Amino acid sequence: MTGGKERSKERREKRLQEISLLRTIPYSDHRRWWTSETIAVVTGGNRGIGFEITRQLAGHGLTVILTSRDTEVGIEAVKVLQEAGLLVEFHQLDIVDPQSITNFADWIQETHGGLDILVNNAGVNFNVGSENSVEHAEQVINTNYYGTKNVIDTMIPLMKPSSSGARIVNISSRLGRLNGKKNRIEDDALREQLSNDDLLSEELIDETLTRFLEQTKDSSWTSGGWPQTFTDYSISKLAINLYTRYLARKLADRPEGEKICVNCFCPGWVKTAMTGWIGNISVEDAADTGVWLALLPGQPASGKFFAERREINF
């Protein structure tokens, strides 16, 4: 068993080394579908993975809008990137505040005529290490899922027509895999419903979250068959994974020139404030797959889940 874990660790480390090499190879001109007028928006971009995704996207020559709930820290983050000669702008955005989302939408439409890429990075997690409290479950669900969904719903009408298609990239987690060997929902009937694309709907996702939150309030969640590691965070990311699948299907019939590709990815256990700086992956490597998904040439597959630039099962 130990040998298997070591081999798995070695494979991942080798893949991360490959990714580090890939990041040093510039996109060739024939693959470059974007220009400096291509607008990318990154939520929660003032630190950690969001800041690094902003930096890497801007490094490829796009104009990136770094958003942050806190105006002061957002402006300071943008100054750092601007001093490095990157095309980065700031606008305040609190993804759990509907008025803030509306204000941002009005601004980006008026200032840039919309956007081409949306990277949903903003999120919260109150558990670190071996902790697994659900005290903040409602806030975690409202931020990580409903906040992200509200931003997406508001931005979709503003995404610019393009032969390459607009892009939505959702930062998620393996902890939210529906059919993973570990940390999955143990209710077979519910898991089967959520696995079935014909049955998957916003209503079903909402019903699942409502059921979970009700059980956190009456303390029955421990016997409810929910994931047992970072439970509230895992459920919020499960919802993001489900919504990514649902949304890809919903957007599939858009006409040519108005296509929107939506995918999610797991950055891994990253050395950031959210993990208490105990992660084993650098922010540079963690951000890579998100940037790669945002910049893939042509019209990429949609409704998929990735890690280390490879598709993995939901």
Residue 18: enclosing H or E segment and its boundaries?
A: helix 2-23
Q: Hey, how many other C-beta atoms are within 10 angstroms of the C-beta on 75?
A: 14
Residue at 300: amino acid letter: P
- In the beta sheet, which residues pair with residue 307? 310
Residue at 222: amino acid letter: T
Q: Hey, how many other C-beta atoms are within 10 angstroms of the C-beta on 19?
A: 18
Residue at 170: amino acid letter: N
- Just list the catalytic residues: 233
Q: Hey, how many other C-beta atoms are within 10 angstroms of the C-beta on 141?
A: 21
Q: Judging by DSSP bridges, how do beta strands 310-312 and 305-307 pair with one another?
A: antiparallel
What are the angstrom distances between the C-alpha of 122 and each of 34, 45, 156, 209, 281? Answer: 24, 7, 18, 19, 19
Residues 314 and 239: beta-carbon distance below 8 Å: no
Residues 211 and 226: beta-carbon distance below 8 Å: no
Which two tokens mark 187? 């209710």
The CB-based long-range contact list for 179-185 (8 Å cut-off, 24+ gap) reads: 179/313, 179/314, 180/313, 182/229, 183/227, 183/228, 183/229, 183/234, 184/227, 185/225, 185/226, 185/227, 185/238
